[in-house]
Amino acid sequence: MRYVYQLDISKPWIQLGDFNVVRASTERLIGFDNSAAADFNDCLLHIAQDDMPSKGSWLTWTNKRGGDGSNKSKLDRVLTNLAWLDMFPNAETFFLAPGVSDHCLISVAMVSPNGRRKPFKFFNFWLQHPDFGQILNNSWCDPVEGGPMFALSSKLRRLKSVLRQLNLKCYSNISKRVLEAKTELSTVQERLFASPTDDTLCTQEKKLVSKYMELRYAEEASC
């Protein structure tokens, strides 16, 4: 993935295929490599990319074995940046039956059946994000040259782009994020049962409860 760092992330682009690495333990049944996942996620964060909305099989690769030797992973994905999603807001990814391959087939639909652009929608749960106020202030206070109406429309257009990026970064694949947050919280709480006076675990629990509740609220509000 080193070459990705050389790309101009301000321009619209899309990448798809077998990345041979997963992003989380929930994306692999056996043999999760935490270090490789951390490197991959760090790379995606650096280039402002994330998974496109998708339908079909979640685990896209199988070793074609049965019983205890069976293993499945999400090795295949479609990555895109916000600039590309602005051009194709209705695009969707479909992971199709693999046939004779050990990988699912990937199909990207560029336009929804009705062919209309999805309107911008403001989600109230964005207000609960701890960085929302700073994000709003930074975007709105950045000056724009031109008349009052031009400046206003330019700032609104820029703010929509910033908020879409916030949503893509923090709330995409929201159901998966909720499940991961719940698992993380349960793990810390189980450790806390064994060590009830551990202040570090108590602090972690409070943060994870807040994170889990924020994501649950976002999931419910986006339905």
Cα distances (Å, whole numbers) of residue 65 to 29, 69, 120: 13, 6, 45
* Mean pLDDT of the 139-150 span: 75
> Is pLDDT at 23 greater than 70 in this prediction?
yes
What's residue 85's pLDDT? 75
pLDDT tens-digit series, residues 159-183: 888 888 887 888 777 778 888 888 9
Report angle CA 131, 89, 21 to the nearest 5 degrees: 70
Q: For residues 120 and 58, give the distance between their C-alpha atoms in angstroms, rounded to a whole number.
A: 27
> Is pLDDT at 5 greater than 60 in this prediction?
no
Cβ-Cβ contacts under 8 Å for 17 (sequence gap 6 or more): 76, 106
**What is the side-by-side order of every strand in the sheet holding 76-81?**
14-18, 76-81, 49-51
What's residue 21's pLDDT? 92
Tell me the whole-structure pTM to 2 decimals: 0.48
Helices (H), 57-102: 82-87
Mean pLDDT lowest for which of 53-57, 63-67, 71-75? Answer: 53-57
Mean pLDDT lowest for which of 71-80, 145-154, 188-197? Answer: 145-154
> Is pLDDT at 43 greater than 70 in this prediction?
yes
Any bridge partners for residue 96, and if so which? 105
User: Which residue, 125, 86, 110, is CA-closest to 214?
Assistant: 125
* Mean pLDDT of the 81-101 span: 80
Mean pLDDT lowest for which of 47-51, 58-62, 131-135? Answer: 47-51
Contact 47, 5 (CB under 8 A): yes
Number of Cβ within a 10 Å radius of residue 113 = 7
Residue 125: both structure tokens together: 């749960």
Single-letter residue type at 42: D
How many percent of the chain have pLDDT more than 90? 9
What's residue 147's pLDDT? 62
Number of Cβ within a 10 Å radius of residue 212 = 19
Please state, rounded to an integer, the average pLDDT across all residues of the chain. Answer: 80
pLDDT tens-digit series, residues 110-130: 765 455 556 677 887 788 888
